[in-house]
Amino acid sequence: MQRSAQPGTASKNAVDPLAEPDPRRQKRRERILQIGTLVLLLAAWEFAAHDANKLLVAMPSDIALATWDLLVSGELLWATLDSMSTFVLGFVIASVLGIVIGFAMGTNRTVEVILDPYINALYAMPLVALIPILMLWVGIGFLAKITIIILFAVFPVIINTVTGVKNVDKHYLDIGKAFMASRAMVYRKIIAPYAMPYVASGLRIALGRGIIAMIVAEFLTSISGLGGLIINYTNAFETAKAFAPVLVVAVLANALTLLVQKVEARFGRWRRR
Amino acid sequence: MPKLSVRNLTKRFPVSDGPSMLALDGVDLDVEEGEFIAFVGPSGCGKTTLLRIIQGLETATSGDILIDGKPARGPGHDRGFVFQQYGLLPWLTAAQNIGFALEAKGVPARQHGDITERVLATVGLKGFGDRFPHQLSGGMQQRVGIARALAIEPDMMLLDEPFGALDALSREILQNEMLGLTERMGKTVLFVTHSVDEAVCLADRVVVMSPRPGRIRDIVPIDIPRPRARLGEALRDTPEYSAKRQLLWNQLMELV
Ligand SMILES: Nc1ncnc2c1ncn2[C@@H]1O[C@H](COP(=O)(O)OP(=O)(O)OP(=O)(O)O)[C@@H](O)[C@H]1O
Ligand SMILES: [Mg+2]
């Protein structure tokens, strides 16, 4: 990006395209740009919200104070734990289920033919529409939340796993065949590592959808967790406090994505950088 | 009894629109134990197909493969295959790639370390076991492929243009090593190559194949005495070498 020489952009601090930029300095420069932009945005928000209706918009400084209050009272922590324990359990079940179903579909044509239409239809449809009916079956408690998270998160894992497993390079399968590797070895040492990057990107999509599911579930079933805080404080017109859990959700979503990427990188050491 | 007999082998590949493709047509060949056979021929004459059928990676449309007189059905640990390209699993290190073949053969895990070290040393890659394929040069990757085939101690080695993707220098170095290796071990070797030079240097007999349909056109014995490895460059100065090189060259030119 930094090397693009489009007219009108960065003409003053354009770098010599042939010189290798010092990566550390480059990185620092980019960080400063990002932090600077954030500070500017917050300042503009603070300024604009100063004269606005306090019920509708909160100033960043108010949000910071409200977040502090909620932290000190422990309310935010408990809500986060509540949400996260539900989310992590749902996400783990969805991941395992998705990988197992994806492997079965990718390696067995019969299973694929039977399941494929439903998987595709459910992945494409707005699953929120199912939630009221689902609540008839599983109630509005913990089980309902877990079910909703799994429902949202499982399909991208299945679909990506199937793609990865079915795409396995024939050359690699030939190696297994030539040396008479057992079925288990072919799964473990050829198909699984090959499909790994596909599975990982499925997990990343599932993470985003799972967090949406978590908040939606907390809005629609028994009101609790971070989603519950948002609903309750909005209804109480404590707008600044409603922003605090939103902030936490944003930070958590990013932290979890980073974690999945780290795990992915750990398993992808064999790839060329 | 020959080590390997190929009897009236035919292979048809289905073609989606039109008549099927006759890749091999009535191929007959006997290979003695310890013999080094090179296959040459224009592109598409069925060299890879023949090797893959012998390895059991592909099934013949008709005909038989006999090993020690017994029909071979499917792959076996008695045959070690070296692929032209994409022969290593990129997510496994060199040592793990070799371990893969050992595990597949059922060699106890505690022996893997010793065997791996030994075969890596044999191909001149001592100390490179921890490298991933992308951290090795093309020539080193092919050596790992050869080491892996050696590790399972096969009676027969099948190599499909193992040096085809290499530069001229690496190629010549590996040719010489291959010569030394096979003369020391005395294994039966089937070796596909595009290079007449390579074929004459290495082989006891060169099988010339012709395309459309794939057939054996001629089998040329190479009477350069062994061991040839110690001759080095002088090998290429022998009259037999130039004569056979010329003969094969002329045959190939007629085919293309
Ligand atoms: N899986 C396949 N399906 C259809 N046709 C095939 C298949 N594999 C090989 N063929 C055809 O069979 C013929 C022989 O192919 P093969 O790969 O054995 O040739 P080759 O002698 O190894 O050629 P090269 O020197 O280019 O490697 C070719 O015409 C090829 O197109
Ligand atoms: Mg070929």
Cα B239 to Cα B242: distance, rounded to the nearest angstrom? 5
Tell me the CATH number at A78: 1.10.3720.10
The number of folded domains in chain A is 1
Q: Is residue A44 part of a domain?
A: no
Cα B175 to Cα B165: distance, rounded to the nearest angstrom? 13
CB contact under 8 Å between A172 and B89, yes or no, is: yes
Pocket lining: B120 vs ligand 1, CB cutoff 6 Å: no
Q: Is residue A14 part of a domain?
A: no
Can you give the residue range of the structural domain that contains A94?
A: 61-268
Q: Where in chain B is the domain with CATH 3.40.50.300?
A: 4-78+156-255
Q: What is the mean pLDDT for each group of 10 consecutive residues in chain B (256 residues)?
A: 94 89 94 96 94 96 94 93 93 96 96 95 92 92 94 95 86 86 90 93 95 93 89 86 93 87
Class of domain B4-78+156-255: alpha beta
pLDDT for A8 beyond 70 = no
Q: Is residue A47 part of a domain?
A: no
Q: Is residue A49 part of a domain?
A: no
Q: Is residue A120 part of a domain?
A: yes
Q: Greatest CA span in chain B, whole angstroms? A: 54
Q: Is residue A70 part of a domain?
A: yes
- Whether this model's ipTM surpasses 0.90 comes out as yes
Q: What pTM does this model have?
A: 0.84
From the CA of B50, give the closest atom in ligand 1. Answer: 18
Pocket lining: B97 vs ligand 1, CB cutoff 6 Å: no
pLDDT for A230 beyond 50 = yes
Cα B178 to Cα B39: distance, rounded to the nearest angstrom? 16
Q: What is the pLDDT of residues A40-59, one digit of tens each?
A: 999 999 888 888 887 788 88
Q: Does A33 touch chain B (CB under 8 A)?
A: no
Q: Is residue A31 part of a domain?
A: no
Q: Is residue A39 part of a domain?
A: no
Question: How high is the pLDDT of residue A217?
Answer: 93
